[in-house]
Structure 1
């Protein structure tokens, strides 16, 4: 049975729930009065303060260093006191400082690469709401990238983003490359270059297969974002299938443009009208591209 903790941060600004309020915090962070049962909401940790000195680090730390599967298992810092709190002599402090430098020199370049890449990958996955299994696949891809030393002279951020997108394509998760680059704030060209190296040099080693995004999946995704009925979306998908059977070549064409054009044509044939600007904005293409793809699809229907 989980026990609740006493909540000491109850101030006068909170309206009293009863004559003798006894505020506690449950395991899920919910503030509840133990006497009357009134729920006040969740207690969050905010107003984080940065630490600049050793004393501030010691006083503001709330967690212990997290164990990692790579790098040194212990951290030797420039300590000034022993385990009992007694002040160390200058000679002993110099010894620990020397040991800290020696330990730092023993860390390999691969481990330093992982130290920088792992938090970036986790943060990017968290912002994009990527499932954990896709993140694990992305880390497996990036590990092979680092082992082959493909990051030497290149951007680590670009390879982290490209590894995540490659894992997304393997699992066929509905995320566009433009969405990932916007969140990662990395130029699209850099990610394209890194992705090409991953597909050519990493996938054969890991025996993985890159699955390009299909126009059919984009039709239903864009249709849902535009709040179109399933009938309109299905008609758009059927248009693409028919035009492809009649000879429409999709090689060299962005699938987003074809999917958006099919949706626009399907909307014109129904009562659910959508403007070119609205569809182009959802598909992340220009209106000129949309009109061009509409003409191409019409010629094969």
Structure 2
């Protein structure tokens, strides 16, 4: 139960840090976080609705908060998945650091409802090509568990996002490639 409580507190802090807790009563935020964490951990929790509300009415109010929490959780889980993927490739530390910087500063662009493996495949492909490393789309796709077509489609999506100025920084690594596509 200590692990559960620690995860609840961590997620509440993360939501506050990102400014996503504003406008929600403390109890509603706390209960919504508890429900999300319980579902992720497979734990059963009970919530008490505030005075004057039925449990169903209260659950309806929790919906907006849960949607925001789930988005933060999803981005965080995708980032953890991506870090585990980087270890599968024998890349120089400099390349890993550049990939990590690009992904962490632009999470919302890369993990916007698309398959995170495709996003990671496209980013890896672009950065690996920039450094002139010998890693093909096919090798990337096979290792990550996606198709080469998925990598190409996500490269095109990244190109659109880049041109639409959705990135926090104009990534130099992309600038040199998008004149080719």
Alignment TM-score, normalising by the size of structure 1: 0.34
In the other structure, the counterpart of 2:173 is: 209
Partners in 2 of 1:167 and 1:141 — Cα distance?
10
Which structure is higher in RCO with an 8 Å CA cutoff and minimum separation 6? 2
* Alpha-carbon distance, 1:180 to partner: 1.0
More helix by share: 2
The answer to whether 1:164 aligns with 2:121 is no
Partners in 2 of 1:187 and 1:98 — Cα distance?
44
* Alpha-carbon distance, 1:158 to partner: 0.7
Among 60, 84, 95, which residue is 1:134 paired with?
95
Report SS of the residue matched to 1:98: coil
Aligned length, in residue pairs: 134
TM-aligned CA distance change 1:197 to 1:106, over 3 Å = closer
Asked which structure has the greater CA Rg, the reply is: 1
More strand by share: 1
Partners in 2 of 1:114 and 1:133 — Cα distance?
24
Cα deviations across residues 83-131 of structure 1 (Å, max 9, x unaligned)?
xxxxxxxxxxx9x7439x96x7275454223222112211211111223
Partners in 2 of 1:186 and 1:157 — Cα distance?
7
In the other structure, the counterpart of 1:114 is: 75
Cα deviations across residues 185-238 of structure 1 (Å, max 9, x unaligned)?
1011111000122234237643313456xxxxxxxxxxxxxxxxxxxxxxxxxx
Q: Where does structure 2 lack aligned partners over 5 or more consecutive residues?
A: 15-32, 39-43, 49-58
Matches within 5 A, 1:1-301: 71-73=11-13, 97-98=46-47, 105=66, 107-143=68-104, 146-148=107-109, 151-152=112-113, 154-202=114-162, 205=167, 206-207=169-170, 208-210=172-174
Q: Where does structure 1 lack aligned partners over 5 or more consecutive residues?
A: 1-53, 79-93, 213-250, 253-301
In the other structure, the counterpart of 2:24 is: none
